[in-house]
Structure 1
Amino acid sequence: MGTSKMRHIVEAAGGILYRWKAGCGPASETIDFTDHRSPDDSGTPLGGSASANPANHTDGTDAAPSSTGKTSPNDAVSGGKGGISPDGNVLDRIELCIVHRPKYDDWSWPKGKLDPNESARHAAVREIGEETGLPVALGPYLGDVSYPMSEEGSKHRHTKDLSSDTKHVQFWMVSAISPIDNLKRTKAFGPVHRADVGEIDEMVWLTPMEARKKLTHSTDKDMLALFVDRVQEGALEALPFLIVRHGKAEARKLWKGTDANRPITPRGAAAAYALNYELACFNPVRLTTSPWIRCMETLQTFSWQTGRPMVTLDALTEDAYARDPAAAWDCLLSEIEYMLARREPTAICMHRPVIGGMFEHLRELCASPTLGKRLIAKTPYMPTGTAMALFVIPGPDGPKIIDIQKVHPLVY
C-alpha cells in the first residue's frame, strides 16, 4: 500500500512598512530612510526615498463600493468614495515600502521565512530589516495568508487549494525606529544582516493607491485592504502598551523571606530572558514595574541590554492593589496617557491579581466587545513570563485599544 506525501508548511512573516510623506506627519515620525548605496540600473537607489511610477503589475479590477454605504478597504485604496482624495485624507499623506525580488521578478511586501527557534513576530522585524535596511518595530496585526509553495511567484495565488506544500505568512503594520533606538535594542533583539542583492535588488516608496497598482500578487493586495482598514481605525497613531506578567516565582509555601522579596525560579528566568527577544520587536522605550523582586527580575535583563532604566510603581504591588484597587487603576491609566502624550512605547510588569483587576478596566477601553474578550476574565488571566501587547490610540473620550496581541516567549 502506498503512502501519501505529508503536506509541509513553511512559516514566514512580514509586514507593510509605512512612513509619513515629508512634512505630513508628526516630527517624531520623521526618520532618515536613505541608504547611501549606488543606484541600480533603474536609477532608483536601493533603500532610497524616491517614489517610483507604478509598474504594469495590475489586474485592472477593484472591488465595488460597499452596499452598506460605508467605504470598503478597496474603495479607499483605489480612490473610491471616502478614499484617497484631495481633501486631505490620511492615505494621501503616507507611503508604503515595496520590494522587488529578481528571482521571481515580482513586487511584494518585505517578508521571509522563520529561522529555527524564532517567533513570527521576530522574523517579521528581522526580515523587514534585512530586506529594506531599516530598523523597524511592530504595529497592529493585519492578518495571515496561505498559498501553495508552487505559486510563490504567481500573480494569482489559489489560497483555497492547500493540498500540497504550503507557505503561511503573517503580516503586521510596521514603522521604522530611529538609529538611536535601534542601537539601544540591538543586544535584546539580536543581529540583522542586510539581504543580498540577488534576493532584493530594489525598493520603492509609494502611496497606497500606487502600491495597489504596483503589487504583483493578489494576496498582497488583499493585505493592503486590511492595512487600509486599520488606518481607518486610527492605527497610524497606535502605540504598544505591553503588559508583562512576571516569570514563574518561588512557591509561597516554600519561600522563607517576605513576599516582596520572593524571586523568580531558574525556569522563570529562562522565560524572562526569552521574552526579551519578543519585547524588542515592539521597541518599548519606557520600562515600568512593581517594585517587588519577581517583577523587577523579569525586566532586569531587558533593562540592562537596552540601557533603559526601570521605573518602579508602588501602586502596582499586590498589597497596594488589595488596599486600594482604584489607585492601582489610576496609576496604570496615567502610564497609558503618559505613553500617548510622549509617544513612548511602554512595558509594564505586574502581578496576577493586579492584572486581573486592570483587565476589568481595560476591557472598557477596547474598540469592540469581541476585542475585549481577549483580556481573559478569569484567573490566571495570562501565563507567567508572557506579555500582552495592547495597541492604544488617543480619542476624544480618552485612550482606546484597537488591537491586542499575545506575546509568548520561545524557551528551548
Structure 2
Amino acid sequence: MATVLAAGTLPWRRRRGRLQVALVHRPRYDDWSWAKGKLDRGETFPVAGVRETLEETGLRVRLGHPLPTTTYTVASGSGRAVKEVRYWAAEVTGGDGGLVHEIDEVAWLEADEALERLTYAHDRAQMDALVAADASGTLTTWPLAILRHAKARSRSSWDDDDWLRPLDDQGRAQAADLVPLLAGYGIERLVSSPSTRASDTLAPYATATGGRLRLKPGLSEEGYAQDPSRAGHHLDRLLERGVPACLCSHGPVLPDLVNRLLARVDPRLAPGLVARSVIEDVASSGLAKGEVLVAHIVGTGEGARVVAAERHHPLDRG
C-alpha cells in the first residue's frame, strides 16, 4: 500500500493566561482538524508543516517540539493509501490570518473545546500531548540546532590547507535546503567553525535572514585538537543566552557537543525520555553531512534542560 507523507502543526497562543489552539474547518469535508498538508517534492517535514500552516491559516509560526505522528488510511488514485502526518507544537509569531486554499474558518479554542470539536479521533493524541507539555511547563521552549557541515570536496582532491576546503555541488544544495528548515524553528543566532566548508553551510541562511555569522576557531577540527574545551564553551554560551541558535561544526567535534546536550536531558520530564533516545542515537551514530539535531530547551544557563529532540537528514524529504 502506498504512503502519503504530510505535515502539520498545532498553532497555540495564550489569551488571559489560558492556552488556546487553532483548528481549521474544511467545507469540502465539513470537518474540523489541524492545519496540515502533503509534502511537496523535495520538501522536508518541518518545512511542509510551516508552509501548510501559513497557507491554510494565514499564520506564521515557529516550530516547537514534535507531537505524536498519526497514520490512517485514505483514498488514492490506486485505491487506498496510508497517510502519515507528522506534527509540531507551533507558537504563533505573526501573519494576517487570511484564509486560502480549502479552509473557510479558523477557530481559536481552549483545550476542552478543541477536543470536543475535533472530527477525527486520530487528531486527539496531538492535543493531549500539547496539554501535557503545558501542564509540565515544557510547552514554551527555544531551539538549539547542532549542525554538521554540508558535503565538501574530498580531502584527496584538495591541495590547499584543509580548513579552506569548499563545499561541492551537493553540499551547496544542502546549504540552500537548510534555509527554510532553520527558518521554521526561528533560528536567530548563528555560530560556526571558521573552516570554509562549515561557514559556507550557514552562509545562505545568514544571507536570507540578514543574520550575523559568528566564526569560532574552537569549533574547527584544528582548534578542537589544540583545546577541546573551547567547543563546549561555545555551546555553554548559547545555553546561557537562550536565543534560538544553530551551531555548525565537524564530525570529530560533534560527539563532545552532543554528549553535553545529553547531560541536559531531564529524566523527570516525560518528553525527556524521547529526547534522550534521539540524542543517544546521534551520540552513537553521529550526524551525516548536512544533517541537523534540533534540541528543544526550557530554561537557560545551568538550569537549561532538553525536553525534546529531533534530527533531520538532508535526504529525509518527500
TM-score > 0.5 by shorter chain: yes
Aligned to 1:277: 180
Following superposition, the deviation at residue 109 of structure 1 comes to: 1.2
State the secondary structure of the residue aligned to 2:139: helix
One-letter amino acid matched to 1:364: A
Distance 1:226 1:203 in 2: 21
Aligned to 1:377: 283
Aligned to 2:270: none
Aligned to 1:14: 8
Cα displacement string for residues 41-83 of structure 1 (whole angstroms, at most 9, x for unaligned residues): xxxxxxxxxxxxxxxxxxxxxxxxxxxxxxxxxxxxxxxxxxx
Identity score, percent = 33
Aligned to 1:364: 263
> Per the alignment, do residues 396 and 295 of structure 1 end up closer, same or farther by CA in structure 2, a change over 3 Å counting?
closer
Distance 2:92 2:168 in 1: 36
One-letter amino acid matched to 1:10: V
Cα displacement string for residues 186-224 of structure 1 (whole angstroms, at most 9, x for unaligned residues): xxxxxxx9523xx11111111112211222221112221
Aligned to 1:143: 68
Equivalent residues of 1:173, 1:227 under 8 A apart: yes
State the secondary structure of the residue aligned to 1:347: strand
- Choose from 290, 312, 316 the match for 1:407: 312
Cα displacement string for residues 6-58 of structure 1 (whole angstroms, at most 9, x for unaligned residues): x2322221111101215x4xxxxxxxxxxxxxxxxxxxxxxxxxxxxxxxxxx
Distance 1:318 1:387 in 2: 18
Distance 2:45 2:145 in 1: 18
Equivalent residues of 1:233, 1:402 under 8 A apart: no
- Choose from 200, 204, 211 the match for 2:107: 204
**Alignment pair present for 1:102 and 2:27:** yes
- Choose from 128, 142, 162 the match for 1:259: 162
Distance 1:213 1:138 in 2: 25
One-letter amino acid matched to 1:352: G
Equivalent residues of 1:275, 1:386 under 8 A apart: no
State the secondary structure of the residue aligned to 1:390: strand
Following superposition, the deviation at residue 324 of structure 1 comes to: 2.1
Aligned to 1:114: 39
Task: Detail structure 1 runs of 4+ shifted over 6 Å in the superposition.
Answer: none
Question: For 1:93-242, what aligned pairs fall within 5 Å after superposition?
Answer: 93-149=18-74, 164-178=80-94, 195-196=100-101, 199-242=102-145
Distance 2:201 2:278 in 1: 23
Following superposition, the deviation at residue 378 of structure 1 comes to: 3.9
Distance 1:310 1:208 in 2: 40
Equivalent residues of 1:97, 1:109 under 8 A apart: yes
Count of residues in correspondence between the two structures: 307
Equivalent residues of 1:394, 1:400 under 8 A apart: yes
> Per the alignment, do residues 119 and 194 of structure 1 end up closer, same or farther by CA in structure 2, a change over 3 Å counting?
farther
Distance 1:241 1:261 in 2: 26
Equivalent residues of 1:140, 1:235 under 8 A apart: no
Following superposition, the deviation at residue 397 of structure 1 comes to: 5.2
State the secondary structure of the residue aligned to 1:200: coil
From the two aligned structures, give the one with the greater strand fraction: 2
> Per the alignment, do residues 167 and 298 of structure 1 end up closer, same or farther by CA in structure 2, a change over 3 Å counting?
same
Aligned to 2:233: 330
State the secondary structure of the residue aligned to 1:225: helix
Equivalent residues of 2:236, 2:301 under 8 A apart: no
One-letter amino acid matched to 1:228: V
> Per the alignment, do residues 101 and 389 of structure 1 end up closer, same or farther by CA in structure 2, a change over 3 Å counting?
same
Tell me the C-alpha RMSD between the 2 structures: 2.4
Following superposition, the deviation at residue 120 of structure 1 comes to: 1.9
Unaligned runs of 5+ in 2: 268-272
Q: Which moved more, 1:282-291 or 1:164-173?
A: 164-173
Normalised TM-score (structure 2): 0.88
Following superposition, the deviation at residue 250 of structure 1 comes to: 2.3
Equivalent residues of 2:148, 2:289 under 8 A apart: yes
Following superposition, the deviation at residue 289 of structure 1 comes to: 0.9
Unaligned runs of 5+ in 1: 1-6, 25-92, 151-162, 183-192
